[in-house]
Structure 1
Amino acid sequence: MTATPSQPRRRDGLQAAEGSENLTHSSPASSSGLENSMKRDVGLHVICGPLINYKNMTLSPDPSLWHGSILIVTQTGQKVPQLHLRQSGPVSLDHGDVSTNGDRSSVERSTIDGVKLYEDPHKAFWRFSVSLPLEAYEARWEYIIPGFSYATGEKVRSPWKFVVPSVNESMRTMFHSCNGFSVDTDPDSWAGPALWNDVLRLHAQRPFHAMVGGGDQIYNDGVRVEGPLKYWTDIINPQKRRAHDFNEDLRVKCDTYYYENYVRWFNDEPFKTANGQIPQINIWDDHDIIDGFGSYVDHFMKCAVFRGIGGVAFKYYCLFQHHIAPPRSTFTTDAPQTMEAVNGTAGIDPRQLENTFVLQEPEDSRWIMGKRPGPYVEEISRSLYMRLGRRIAFVGIDARTERTRHQVNYPDTYDAIFDRLSSETIAANGEIKHLILLLGVPIAYPRLIWLENIFTSPLMGVVRLLNKRFGIAGGFFNKFDGQVDLLDDLDDHYTARRHKRERKEFILRLQDFSKTHSVRITILGGDVHLAALGRFYSNLSLKVPTENDHRYMANIISSAITNKPPPKLVANLIARKNRIHHLDKETDETLMPLFDKQPGGVEKSASWNKVTMPSRNFACITEVDKPVVNGSISYASNQDGVAEGAAASHPKNGRQPLHKGEEHAGTKHRAADGVSSDGGILGSLNVSIRVEIRQGDKEGRTEGYGFGIPPLMVSSPVAAA
């Protein structure tokens, strides 16, 4: 049978696992054998890649499978590429442990045919879908792509390698956000994306199974500065800007800009190296489209240009960040049928399909699909659900597709998310102990309503008039809707005045889910360009131990891994506004003191500020599998896994440690090194926020600040009834 883009070859006669277009087995192959097969087959000219993604796990008794994909972008007119894959044995063998049963020489090689997702006259996107058996040990896999050569002539360094957890292991992850530079930033002064060097060092020390991108994996804001929207941005009259069309010519130019910006950034080292060996899990945020998308005034967000670039950005978000086929067409004013969603996506424009192939395939099973299109993008939202190994579940909420200044997500989208969570948790039959919830922005964070009040006061109207007539305070106002430039960032926050009710309802539903299923929820949030740790918890007057407190949810705030941090004055001001807030009579929230010292002794903030760190950073999350270690910061569990002495000593307020895992939080905590899996209760999470020490250090050296998150032990969860 001849392979086609929609029906790849299958030569082994085996039933395909979920997401595996073609997985064939041949004779055993050594690493050198893989390389030799690559040398025999030349001529695959690659523009970008490989990029590896994690999709999900099948954790049934037999078989248990890891599902992922690998993407390359090539020049057009090439034959169907292949990928050769083999297991190179247990990770423990890398350190000389020969006591495992792994036998490198007996592992078979698999050959996977590429499936073409998209092709136009300039480029082709190919996906290799991979389904691997989970072993009793943590396994390293390696792959090559025969004939692979970079179109630029760059040297190819293969085989590429990645690691999957054992069948009984939870995944070790790193979390990052804001992976790019704002248009007013000098990348050289920050040594570019240097912190990815530290990610790779930690990965070499103890491999990450996935890297979670919390949004802004790329900054596309340059489209209005040096790109095709510059002339539009420079139109002075706001009515003329709103009325400007988004015709086919402008769509093509924007399409080219977004594609080339992805290629440039995803090919930039050391991020490029991480892309090929640490599987990605991503959601998008505004900079993946353009700064502030969704949070400007409604009449401006509905203008043709914003709706047009929303469609173009979604196209390349699908391809580069999720390895799925894009919509067949995106919004243009030349084709009215694209201006309304049909079956959840933009209508078909035949001109956009000229000399173009777009794969049509079923929706990915990891998606939690919205029920109706977003207000400014002719697409339905796509949130993510997947298992991160044996005991951790993950949900990444698409909080951008449906966003307006007055909402983050539609009510029926929340219903779909919680329905999926409940069904998956019940089906897991008590295995899931932690839920990692990914949001684009923090949700346990100081209120900045006082700043909103200033920016929306009548005084700003006077300043805006002076700006229009005389250019006074020119950099203070954005060129899109004429509002204060920081107002869209404030409106993005869950703690913004406009989102107050939605935020509270969401948190209460999370609490109910946590209590019903006895699952500890930990929230990831980025966007704010500094590091912090927020927490929700039961009002201390209720005297609920944290290990039994379904209201206790830590919000790990980690950003930016690449973009510049705010000035220390801003971080100190936010720290001063850190109050103990009352969500309701039973739930309090505040930031916890985490930063016991300045990173590497380099001053980043005021000495009294222990809660906000204005320095580039990322986070590491590792499940505790060795509960007992020597040292005062450790605490053990008994044979039944019930905490012994887990509670901290009667905290007087939420700024003090609420449980043993928060005691000695900071550089002295066991988790600070970013790799340790001991200390704490068995099954708790060790978290390290790794903070850049010195600006401009090309090695990206960091200092770690650690803390622990205990599992939840609710006496009678409904799911177990």
Structure 2
Amino acid sequence: MDNSDPPGLVTRRRDGEPVEATATGDSTLNETCPAVPEGYEHVQDTANGHGRGPNIVDLGEHLEVICGPLLNYKGFSNANEESPTWNGSVLIVTKPGQRQPVLELRSRGPTSTAAGSEPLVNGNVSHDNEVITIEGVKLYADPVKAFWRFQIAVPVQPAETRWEYTIPRFHYFNNKQAMSAYNFVVPAANDSMRIMFHSCNGFSIGTDLDYWQGPTLWNDVLRLHEQRPFHVMVGGGDQIYNDSVRVDGPLKAWTDISNPHRRRAHPFPNIMRDECDHFYYENYVKWYGMEPFATANSQIPQINIWDDHDIIDGFGSYTDHFMKCAVFRGIGGVAFKYYLLFQHHVAPPMSTFTTDAPATMSAVNGTSGADPRQLEKTYVYKEPVQDPSFINGKHPGPYVEECSRNLYMRLGRRMAFVGIDARTERTRHQVNYPETYDLIFSRLDKELTEANGEIKHLILLLGVPIAYPRLAWLENIFSSPIIAPIRLLNKRFGVGGDFFNKFDGQVDLLDDLDDHYTARQHKRERREMMQRLQHISRKHSVRVTILGGDVHLAALGRFYSKPRLNIPAERDFRYMANIISSAITNKPPPKPVANLLARRNKIHHMDHDTDETLMKLFDKQPGGKEKGAAFNKVTMPSRNFACITESSLEGVVNGSADVPDTAASVPPKDGHFPLHAGEENAGTVHRAADGVSNITGMNGGLDVSIRVEIDCSDRRGTTEGYGFSVPPLLIPQDERLSQETTRSRFRRHRNIHTSHSADTTPPATSASAPPATSAEIPR
């Protein structure tokens, strides 16, 4: 029997030095392939993926882990049945050539907060626990690292249940102390999930890192999680900041090219791609391994949608001719690769854009074409089926050779989630292709119909707030001819410094303003999306609540029916709260900016029947620390995150006064006043403010707390909570099509598939999208 290595196979001892691949005390031979020890068959597996991999076998005793574990939530299967299945995954990054890892999973029984939970015996539940062994699936490997996914599917129990997982032989390669076991919590079969929402989890270029102390608010997240477990944490974009790629990374030399024509014409060859690939990977490993964020990642399942900083600041919102340059298309592909791996636990494209591999410069079947050089000593797994939580766009983005990844999943019994990928298809003049909206709303209509009225709340994630003060006057100034002479002086002599960005020479804040749904070029797209949401809400009697981040402050926007229509909140399908929570880590804007936004908080008229404005939420300064002007009750410039819990269906307990309906004590004059009982006394005295309780009496509604940092020098991340409630929507069956005026119905039917601008058209190589189905068009 020949025990010599196959060509190119490298075997390592425990000390990392190569040895011959023969039987040793650390491994046994596999009869079908004598040269590869048992457990290492994946090293030569080519049937399930692209490329041959690095051909390394590491015979070390430990599983050498670089990053992880990272926990992800993928949704329910059989969601409408009495006992659905919870689906998720765990991801670890290891050194290449490790023996195939396994994950051991066991139930620890009902949580201590679960109703009717069983008593514990010596720290374990009193019944026997079966251990479930899950083999790791290798998603990607190269000579530096390997990504492993453990697919988890567990039955949802009658009581809230804690599950424990361990990974045998787990050892951090840098000798960091690892936990002996990890756990997560699955809600009871008749409960909805408890949500933690965050955004902007990193630092912008130039931030004083000594002053802002790192991701300290995750300490408060973990404290609240210990008091009452979160079932999922929703990342609203910018889960990581990759902007330093242009400052101290491989794009620095390119950024320093002063001639804009030379910069646009610069190629993105494979060597530059390789340098950027290394940078993005190392930045993810550093950030996702940083405490206390790393601990939260291992215990609270994530749902993520990316935004610009996950790629580079402003991606998608610079001028079209600059966004189409090779370097931006190249880093878009690299960022997408690691976004899929770290944030979604799915295999990446087999190649990404380079200018010296023409096949990668255009999408083939919705993904970048293959480059044999990128597959050298590399393995990329072939996903056998599309992730069921994805709603993939039909056409690749204008600046990324990949289709958008939008999300849908069930969040327990009465709650559903949809996340819109508002970055992959973005240009300065569009957020998403019209046909992508068609796919999303078609899926929503299907899921809500199949749920047969059981879904009462739809949580919509948008990376950027949609109910927000207008700054059109500022856009007009930044885009006006008066800026041109200053721009010329900046280009020639550096006048204005960082006022202009280094990429397309525009005012640096302009890309942020262009990102907003309230920007003038996005107004029609915004209005059409909101009207389609109103149609879904009315048709299925489901309350829509919108999550938004990006702006580095906390606020609460609301859409609602005009007071003259006299529609109570519990029957108002136009009432949609926009919970704005940002940033959990990045620094807030200066006080004058927050105060300016507060002064711009007007009542706006989205359409003939719908008004919008911010609500007064911040009744006092957090912990007595001054964050803004005394008059400013609507924007809070301090780091923050949000907690969302379904209001108890049993009502207020312990003899407290019940709230029989959502009507405000006094009918509101306009949106500057409380619109329903859940908005009265909003702020620190509201019963939802602690981020744990759900006994406000808003039966079947949502209790929301925005937790605001008190002092950034406090490494404990102590916060103060500001609470309010969102009412359920209870439209009688015979009224679900009767509240909309003929004028609004006509306007939406007329506009629903009108092009937002010339830039909304997908790439010319793509087939045109089919028209919307009859189920999607309001009647």
2:258 corresponds to which of 216, 236, 261: 236
Per-residue CA shift, 1:51-75, capped at 9, x if unaligned?
A: 0000001224365210000000000
Alignment partners' CA distance in 2, 1:631 and 1:651:
31
Tell me the secondary structure at the aligned position of residue 673 of structure 1: coil
State the shift of 1:630 in Å: 6.9
The 5 A counterparts of 1:132-143 are 132-143=154-165
> Counterpart in 2 of 1:13?
none
State the shift of 1:653 in Å: 1.2
Tell me the secondary structure at the aligned position of residue 300 of structure 1: helix
Alignment partners' CA distance in 2, 1:573 and 1:602:
20
The 5 A counterparts of 1:575-586 are 575-586=598-609
Matched, 1:460 2:483: yes
8 Å CA contact 1:530, 1:614 repeated in 2: yes
Q: Which amino acid aligns with 1:607?
A: A
Matched, 1:43 2:62: yes
Matched, 1:223 2:245: yes
Alignment partners' CA distance in 2, 1:633 and 1:611:
29
State the shift of 1:188 in Å: 2.2
Alignment partners' CA distance in 2, 1:680 and 1:249:
61
Tell me the secondary structure at the aligned position of residue 689 of structure 2: helix
> Counterpart in 2 of 1:250?
272
Alignment partners' CA distance in 2, 1:158 and 1:683:
39
State the shift of 1:100 in Å: 10
Alignment partners' CA distance in 2, 1:506 and 1:626:
31
TM-score (norm 1): 0.92
1:674 corresponds to which of 687, 691, 694: 691
Per-residue CA shift, 1:472-518, capped at 9, x if unaligned?
A: 10110001000000000000000001101100111111001100110
Matched, 1:660 2:677: yes
Q: Which amino acid aligns with 1:72?
A: I
State the shift of 1:646 in Å: 3.5
Alignment partners' CA distance in 1, 2:233 and 2:401:
29
8 Å CA contact 1:627, 1:636 repeated in 2: no
> Counterpart in 2 of 1:628?
651
Matched, 1:407 2:430: yes
> Counterpart in 2 of 1:442?
465
Tell me the secondary structure at the aligned position of residue 721 of structure 2: strand
8 Å CA contact 2:236, 2:548 repeated in 1: yes
State the shift of 1:632 in Å: 12
Residues 636 and 43 from structure 1, CA distance in 2 versus in 1: closer, same or farther, beyond 3 angstroms? Answer: same
8 Å CA contact 2:149, 2:345 repeated in 1: yes
Matched, 1:375 2:398: yes
> Counterpart in 1 of 2:561?
538
8 Å CA contact 2:86, 2:156 repeated in 1: yes
The 5 A counterparts of 1:201-220 are 201-220=223-242
Q: Which amino acid aligns with 2:377?
A: N
The 5 A counterparts of 1:21-100 are 42-58=61-77, 59-61=79-81, 63-92=83-112, 98=118
Tell me the secondary structure at the aligned position of residue 206 of structure 2: coil
State the shift of 1:648 in Å: 4.1
Residues 519 and 626 from structure 1, CA distance in 2 versus in 1: closer, same or farther, beyond 3 angstroms? Answer: closer
The 5 A counterparts of 1:354-365 are 354-361=376-383, 362-365=385-388
8 Å CA contact 1:591, 1:611 repeated in 2: yes
The 5 A counterparts of 1:63-212 are 63-92=83-112, 98=118, 103-212=125-234
Tell me the secondary structure at the aligned position of residue 351 of structure 1: coil
Alignment partners' CA distance in 1, 2:103 and 2:611:
52
State the shift of 1:370 in Å: 0.5
The 5 A counterparts of 1:683-702 are 683-702=700-719
> Counterpart in 1 of 2:329?
307
Q: Which amino acid aligns with 1:144?
A: T
Alignment partners' CA distance in 2, 1:377 and 1:42:
41
Q: Which amino acid aligns with 1:512?
A: H
Q: Which amino acid aligns with 2:471?
A: L
Q: What CA RMSD, in Å, does the superposition of the two structures yield over aligned residues? A: 2.0
> Counterpart in 2 of 1:36?
none
Q: Which amino acid aligns with 2:321?
A: H
State the shift of 1:200 in Å: 0.3
Tell me the secondary structure at the aligned position of residue 509 of structure 1: helix
Alignment partners' CA distance in 1, 2:572 and 2:83:
36
Alignment partners' CA distance in 2, 1:206 and 1:103:
19
The 5 A counterparts of 1:199-598 are 199-361=221-383, 362-598=385-621
State the shift of 1:462 in Å: 1.2
Residues 461 and 584 from structure 1, CA distance in 2 versus in 1: closer, same or farther, beyond 3 angstroms? Answer: same
> Counterpart in 1 of 2:749?
none
8 Å CA contact 1:627, 1:635 repeated in 2: no
State the shift of 1:647 in Å: 3.9
Alignment partners' CA distance in 2, 1:94 and 1:493:
41
Alignment partners' CA distance in 2, 1:62 and 1:520:
23
8 Å CA contact 2:456, 2:543 repeated in 1: yes
Residues 236 and 289 from structure 1, CA distance in 2 versus in 1: closer, same or farther, beyond 3 angstroms? Answer: same
Alignment partners' CA distance in 2, 1:700 and 1:173:
19
> Counterpart in 1 of 2:20?
none
Q: Which amino acid aligns with 2:105?
A: L
8 Å CA contact 1:245, 1:333 repeated in 2: yes
> Counterpart in 1 of 2:666?
649
8 Å CA contact 1:626, 1:679 repeated in 2: no
Tell me the secondary structure at the aligned position of residue 74 of structure 2: strand
8 Å CA contact 1:53, 1:322 repeated in 2: yes
State the shift of 1:241 in Å: 0.3
State the shift of 1:103 in Å: 4.2
Per-residue CA shift, 1:264-294, capped at 9, x if unaligned?
A: 0000000010010000000000000000000
Alignment partners' CA distance in 1, 2:479 and 2:284:
36
> Counterpart in 2 of 1:612?
635
Tell me the secondary structure at the aligned position of residue 131 of structure 2: strand
Residues 674 and 634 from structure 1, CA distance in 2 versus in 1: closer, same or farther, beyond 3 angstroms? Answer: farther
Residues 471 and 81 from structure 1, CA distance in 2 versus in 1: closer, same or farther, beyond 3 angstroms? Answer: same
State the shift of 1:458 in Å: 1.3
Q: Which amino acid aligns with 2:328?
A: F
8 Å CA contact 2:648, 2:697 repeated in 1: no
Q: Which amino acid aligns with 2:337?
A: K
Residues 634 and 516 from structure 1, CA distance in 2 versus in 1: closer, same or farther, beyond 3 angstroms? Answer: farther
Q: Which amino acid aligns with 2:459?
A: I
8 Å CA contact 2:557, 2:612 repeated in 1: yes
Tell me the secondary structure at the aligned position of residue 353 of structure 1: coil
Alignment partners' CA distance in 2, 1:683 and 1:336:
55
8 Å CA contact 1:87, 1:104 repeated in 2: no
8 Å CA contact 2:83, 2:189 repeated in 1: no
Residues 679 and 634 from structure 1, CA distance in 2 versus in 1: closer, same or farther, beyond 3 angstroms? Answer: farther
| Structure 1: gaps (5+ residues) | 9-40, 638-643
Residues 233 and 712 from structure 1, CA distance in 2 versus in 1: closer, same or farther, beyond 3 angstroms? Answer: same
Alignment partners' CA distance in 1, 2:508 and 2:654:
49
Alignment partners' CA distance in 2, 1:628 and 1:99:
27
8 Å CA contact 1:210, 1:281 repeated in 2: yes
Matched pairs, number: 681
State the shift of 1:457 in Å: 1.3
Per-residue CA shift, 1:28-53, capped at 9, x if unaligned?
A: xxxxxxxxxxxxx9410000000000
Q: Which amino acid aligns with 1:213?
A: G
Structure number with greater Rg is 2
Q: Which amino acid aligns with 1:558?
A: S
- Give aligned-pair identity as a percent: 67
| Structure 2: gaps (5+ residues) | 1-31, 33-37, 46-59, 738-774
Residues 94 and 178 from structure 1, CA distance in 2 versus in 1: closer, same or farther, beyond 3 angstroms? Answer: same
